[in-house]
């Protein structure tokens, strides 16, 4: 009888170990699947941010070109007023892009204003030299 009890105990113990190992494998597989899902989401976000950056760069180049045109025109030129309006529209577009990226209106507006000051302020200093 004791041999039967030992065999049953060993069998039960082996079964519990196998169940524990199988459970560990399942948890590992679930964790790996979650990591893959997270990595996928991070990749999507990075692609979206790269697209926003590319559009912002393009709009910034357009603004720089318009600023060059504005600076070459007389102060009371009607064309100058049109360029200034176009510049304001491009700035609004930049704010909208940053809002789509998740910033609120105030932060987006401040970011654009500060970036414009840095970018176009440097350009003016270079032109004076």
* CA gap 45, 102 in Å, rounded: 11
pLDDT reported for residue 87: 94
* pLDDT, tens digit (0-9, with 9 covering 90-100), for 83-112: 999 999 999 999 999 999 999 999 999 999
Q: Which sequence spans correspond to the domains of the chain?
A: 2-128
* pLDDT, tens digit (0-9, with 9 covering 90-100), for 4-37: 778 788 888 888 888 888 888 888 888 888 889 8
pLDDT at 119 > cutoff 80: no
pLDDT reported for residue 128: 53
Contact yes or no for 59/114 (Cβ under 8 A): no
pLDDT reported for residue 121: 65
């Amino acid at each position: 009888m004791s041999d039967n009890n030992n065999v049953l105990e060993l069998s039960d113990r082996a079964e519990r170990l196998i169940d524990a190992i199988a459970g560990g494998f399942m948890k590992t597989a679930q964790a790996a699947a979650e990591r893959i899902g997270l990595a996928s989401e991070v990749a999507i976000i990075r692609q979206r941010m790269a697209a926003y950056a590319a559009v912002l760069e393009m709009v910034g180049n357009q603004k720089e070109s318009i600023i060059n045109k504005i600076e070459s025109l007389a102060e009371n030129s009607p064309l100058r007023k049109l360029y200034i309006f176009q510049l304001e529209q491009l700035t609004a577009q930049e704010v909208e892009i940053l809002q789509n990226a998740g910033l609120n209106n105030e932060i987006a507006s401040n970011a654009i204003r500060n970036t414009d000051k840095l970018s176009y302020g440097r350009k003016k200093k270079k032109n004076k030299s």
